[in-house]
Chain A
Amino acid sequence: FAFFPGEPRWVRSGPLTLTYAIGPTDAVDYIPRAEVEAAFRRAFRRWASVIPVRFEETTEYEAADVKVGFYSGDHGDGEPFDGVLGVLAHAFSPDSGLLHLDSAERWAVDFRVEGSKVAVDLESVATHEIGHVLGLAHSRVKEAVMYPSLSPRTRKVELRVDDVEGVQALYGSNPNFTFSSLFESDTSSAPK
């Protein structure tokens, strides 16, 4: 795992609760908004299960700590999106809270329903980008969620030991978390 320069992280007095809001989903109107929300809910829950951080969904976009949005091309942050495939999404380190998805992609929440050869799993990308929002940079571990690339029609949502150790180095461990709850194959290679 790796961090951004200076190892920025979210800091609050008392228990850390971050609000998040999802902007308009008109650009992906082929997916019901409720399913987009559900994918992000699962992605946030995964990270929350390993660190002492709560995520609360809000409809107040401007006031939210984490702002999720679908954008295309040049959308004003100096990192324009590039159309189909290529760059899928990006997010910014703490405490920016910006998480942007390229609306030119064919996003999918269920590959049994979405037949496109270039479909990209929304939940996998959401889980990865939330890692950036929390302060993780890219990992060299190919199996890790924080590895930088993801092939079309591929799902990678489960946190691996590398992801967990990285985020716990920033925030500590969720008292309810045990490494045995990760994949058996993953825990067998855990260094600690």
Chain B
Amino acid sequence: RPFPANQPDGPDRSHLPPGHRDDTWRSFERLLDAKRGTHIPGIGDLKRYFARFGYFPSPTSNLTDNAFDSRFESALTLYQTRLGLPVTSKLDARTLSQIMTPRCGVPDSVNLNRTGGVQR
């Protein structure tokens, strides 16, 4: 079902950074407080984000669905560990804030061959 992001009793967004209408990753804020077992529009985009930056083992995996499944949870946990965040395995405000922060395009994983153009 749709995430109740715009309802009065929805998630507390006070910890998220102020946004800008052109911000590439601003739409991720709708995922606040999502956890395993939910289906939310936008999770697929976040899966592709994680794949791009080295948190899914294979970038060719099916990353189009919006399920917060165990593979996504593993990627999220790895992200929280690598970025020095509290490991909650949830899309808490601090984690989402970090995800939405502008960053370098080089993947964080140092084990994948696509990292940083080593092959080029």
Contact = CB atoms under 8 A, between A and B. Distances in A.
Partners in one complex: yes
B66 interface: no
Given A4-B116, A91-B106, A140-B83, A84 B101 contact: no
Determine the interface band of chain B, counting residues with CB < 8 A from chain A. Answer: 20 to 34
B2 interface: no
A128 B104 contact: yes
* A interface secondary structure, majority: loop
A182 interface: no
Interface residues of A, number: 40
Contact of A90 (B98, B104, B108, B111): B104
A92 B43 CA distance: 29
B110 A87 contact: no
B71 interface: no
Interface stretch (A19-27, A34-42, A52-60, A148-156): A148-156
A58 to B, nearest CB: 22
The 8 closest A-B pairs by CB, nearest first: A86-B24, A90-B105, A92-B117, A87-B105, A149-B103, A84-B22, A149-B101, A85-B102
